[in-house]
Amino acid sequence: MHTESGLLEKLSGGVSMGSAEEKILEYLDKYTTSGKSPLAGNSIGMDRNFIARDMPKLANYLHYRSIDVSSIKELARRWYPKVYFNAPKKTGNHRALGDIQDSITELKYYRENIFVSNA
């Protein structure tokens, strides 16, 4: 999986964990407030564990709540099968940016097709 995506090849010239954590925090500080931003994405349980173990400043910055799009997908599969089967297909190559973009697209789709406001 990571060989196909090119991730392993990129690792040799990568940044340190601490540097990556600082860059993420700088980015988040531009758009969010500490303690207010939930971790979001698909199947993010392992991500949360990784962040807690290897990026403690980021773990403290994030809200304790999570938005797991895969949980919404599972509810759609059970309760709204037509919506589920028409959901957008993933286009990313299992790299962070592509996965993030796919999760955003998928969550927008569920918001427009399940969480419809009558207000």
Give the integer Cα–Cα distance in Å for 107 and 41: 9
**Residue 77 maps to which CATH number?**
3.30.420.10
Active-site residue set:
64
Give the integer Cα–Cα distance in Å for 62 and 58: 6
For 13-32, the pLDDT digits (tens) are 778 999 999 999 999 999 99
CA 49, 101, 97, 93 torsion-angle sign: positive
Q: What's the confidence (pLDDT) of residue 71? A: 97
Residue 6 is assigned to a structural domain of this protein: no
What residues make up the domain containing 61?
Answer: 12-113
Domain count, the chain: 1
Contacts of 79 (CB under 8 A, 6+ apart): none
Return the DSSP state at 32. -
Q: The pTM is what?
A: 0.81
Residue 7 is assigned to a structural domain of this protein: no
Q: What's the confidence (pLDDT) of residue 6? A: 66
